[in-house]
Every structure is written in C-alpha cells, then in structure tokens.
Structure 1
C-alpha cells in the first residue's frame, strides 16, 4: 500500500524547474511513494518519469493538466491515464494543435466524433473532458479554490471523475467542503501541491509532497484507474 501521494506536479516539459526524472528523485528523497506528472497541455515528460520511477521505486501515474474555458472562466482539468495512451502519437498531435489553436484541424481529424468547441482560444471544459475520456484518462477538476464559487457549483456538474479537494492554496474550510461535494457526487478526491520549482519565493504553488493523500485515500483514487 502507498503511504503518501502528490498528484499535481510540473516539470521542464511545461513551466516547471526540474526534469521529469529529477522530480521522481525529489519524491523519493521526500518519501513520497506515488506521484503524478501533470504538465500543462503536454504528455511529453511522462515516459521518462515512469521509467525513472520504476528504477527508484516511486509509482508514477502519467497525467496532464489541460487548459480549458467554461463560460469565459479559466478552468484547468487534470487527466490521469489508465493505460499507455500517455505515449499516444495521435494525442500528441491533437495537443500540439490545441496549443496552436487549430481547433478545426482537430475536428476534421476526428470527423466530428469529438466536439472541440472552443472559447477564448482554449478548448471548452466539456470538450476537454470528452477528449481525455476518449484517450482513457480519468478527469479531475484542478484547484477548485481558484474558481468563483458560482462557477465551481456549475462546472462540477460536468462529467468529472474527481475533484482536487486538497490543494496548497485552499481557504479555511474548503478542503472539507470539496471532499463533501466529492462524496455527494460519488466521485474521488485527490491532493496536489502544484509543484513548479524549489524556490522559496514561489508563493503561488506548493512544494512537492507538501499536500498529499494517505493510505486508504490513495487506494480509493487508484480504484478508478484500474
């Protein structure tokens, strides 16, 4: 059984300071035995992280943090892959097109199977969830504390598999509130430091392993990834 899990971490593949493999070593040093790499809008670092994790005894869940929009609001969603789609070239191509705002090209590629509706230069939240589900990822609403409460109360009704209830910048009482929402909706809750860099001046994000799930909480999360 795993004892400490941080499921929201960034590497040099997006805007983080450490390489994917270096994150694994930092997790090992801090006795975090299970992590997820969730770089912004890319899956490129996962292969290295998984490989280094296997060598050093740290379980790595390959993931992504996708930038979406919901009625004009920035909404980030976390995808956790249940199979080897984190190496999928088709998904890499789609993500590249999304970063370049080529939504029509994505639509044409899938011949209308997926919507790729966009808002303000980003894929809509509902379309982003649908995309990640298509590639067998489970989808968690990232840092709900950063959403206006009325936006959160609406967006959480989309087809999420979980909510990041434990987060570095939660306000007093929010963790319990978000966990209760997860229980009401029969979805999982996760924890993430949103680690980007080791600098103590980085007040926007937590440090790796600072925020985490424990034992049975981790097991409940892993059940949806099987």
Structure 2
C-alpha cells in the first residue's frame, strides 16, 4: 500500500478530538495479543480519538489497523518500534507516519524476521537441553505470524506446565536477558534506526527513555547524542514513567528543540494500560505538522491535516 493511499485513508477527526491519543500500541503483528482490528476496536471502546500502531520491527498490521480505523471512525497513525543496541543498552526508536512500502524498510524488516526465527530456534534448543520439552512447531503455531519472539516461547512453556505465568519465563533461569536459554537479538544502532525511519518518510522518536528493558534509564547526554543523529522527538508521556521522569524528559525535549509524544505501550487484553496515557490534540497536531515540514515535497499528501 503506497504512502499516499495509506495517508489518504486516515481519519482526520479534529472536530471530535475529545478522547485523547495513545501513540504506542502493539498487536499480533508483533508481540501483542490483539489483532490490529481488535486493538483499534479496543481503543475506540476506550473512548480514544487517535492511536498509533507501533509493532516491534513490523509493519504487517498497519493496513488492517487503518482499515479498521476508517470503519470505526478513529484515527490510526502508521508506526513502528525499532529495536536498537547502544553499547550494552537496548534502546527503542519509534517511527511515525512511515511508508511501509519503502524498499529499504522492507529489506531491513525481512532480515529482522529471519534473525528472529534463527534466534527462536536457538532458544528452543537451549530450553530443550535444560529439560524444558517444548517444540518449535508449537511456538510457531502460537505466533501464527512470521513474527516469533520470546512471548510465544513463554506461552508454549505455560501450556506445558513449566511455568505458572508467562512472566516466569523472563527470568535468568530461562529466557530473561542473560538467562540460561537467552539468545541476543539482531539489532541496529540508534543512529541507523533514525536514518531508516527518515528514509521511510517517518518521524523518529525515542521510546520510553526512562524505562529500558533492563530497568535503567537514559539521560540528557544520551538524548543530546541522538538529536545529533537526527532524532525528532522523545516519548515523554509513558505509562511507566514517574512524574519526576516526565518533567525531566519534558525539559530535555524543550532544551533540544524536539517534539514530545506519549503512549501506554499496551500489548492487549492482559495489559490494561490502554488509554492510561491520553495525549491532548496539540501533541498529535505537532507530530503531524513536523511530519509535514520534514516532507515538503509531499505537500499534497498532507494538506488534509490543515483543512
């Protein structure tokens, strides 16, 4: 689906923007538990006016989500969340208004899918060696998509009775970071992710800087460095950020002249944070305006934002 068609199909509900926006949601196109349609319906039922679908290293759910947005009359922004590695820290970069048909993006995501598959094979083999008898075929069945990750392994372990809840799989005993059956993921650098998002026509935003995978946080110096790489914004408002962190990252965004976004990072029914972050209209409009000015040659495709 070409960008022009994709963006032309978005709903611009400016006159009814009363429920706020959640710009960080995951579906079954990555590691969420709701299909793209179900997530859009979930957001509509929660009273949101706009959302962004930001699946991990995947754009496969965007067409379904935007179609659902048209049907249910809720604005859906096409996005992605890219996993990167900065030294020993896993840093996520969000991309908004990306073109899912961009060749460079497609090539990169294809490599990611192959790398994820190989990683899953290795982790299942390691678990088997530890006496955890789960099958790769069952893990693939649970996923039901080319996107296979640790959540699907955890569900297979739960089915077989090795754990009482999925969270138990994400420990040093099993597939937690650095765990006995853990295998590192293929990742690019933050600089590479920012560049890729820009080449795909998107706006690059640092995701949850106060809540990294290892529970550490990024500081102002990190943000300054990423801005030097071309970073466009910071996810200031995040469901797990403390009020102190929100103020800290808000000040950093203002200092370096980048935009502010926010979202819940909801992954589905089992995660009730949907709508916990509800951005006001001004933040969504700023994101759109910034996208518009980054791509002046595409002016005709974005004028509807300002009608």
TM-score (norm 1): 0.82
Larger Rg, first or second structure (1 or 2): 2
The residue correspondences of 1:1-226 to structure 2 (distance < 5 A) are 1=14, 2-3=17-18, 4-81=20-97, 85-88=99-102, 90-101=104-115, 121-147=186-212, 148-149=216-217, 151-157=218-224, 158=226, 159-199=230-270, 202=271, 207-226=273-292
- Say if 2:208 and 2:236, in contact at 8 Å, map to a contact too: yes
Q: Distance in 2 between matches of 1:130 and 1:155?
A: 17
The gaps in structure 2 that reach 5 residues or longer are: 1-13, 117-183, 293-307
Q: Distance in 2 between matches of 1:133 and 1:90?
A: 11
Q: Distance in 2 between matches of 1:197 and 1:24?
A: 11
The gaps in structure 1 that reach 5 residues or longer are: 103-118
Q: Distance in 2 between matches of 1:121 and 1:217?
A: 32
- What CA deviation, in whole Å up to 9, does each residue of 1:69-111 have, x standing for no partner? 11121000100125xx124455223212134349xxxxxxxxx
The verdict on how the C-alpha distance between 1:153 and 1:120 changes in structure 2, with shifts beyond 3 A counting, is farther
Q: Which has the higher helix share?
A: 2
**Deviation of residue 120 (structure 1)?**
6.8
**Deviation of residue 193 (structure 1)?**
0.3
Q: Which has the higher strand share?
A: 1
**Deviation of residue 122 (structure 1)?**
1.0
Q: Distance in 2 between matches of 1:135 and 1:7?
A: 18
- Say if 2:104 and 2:196, in contact at 8 Å, map to a contact too: no
The verdict on how the C-alpha distance between 1:89 and 1:223 changes in structure 2, with shifts beyond 3 A counting, is same
Matching residue of 1:114: none
Residue correspondences, number: 202
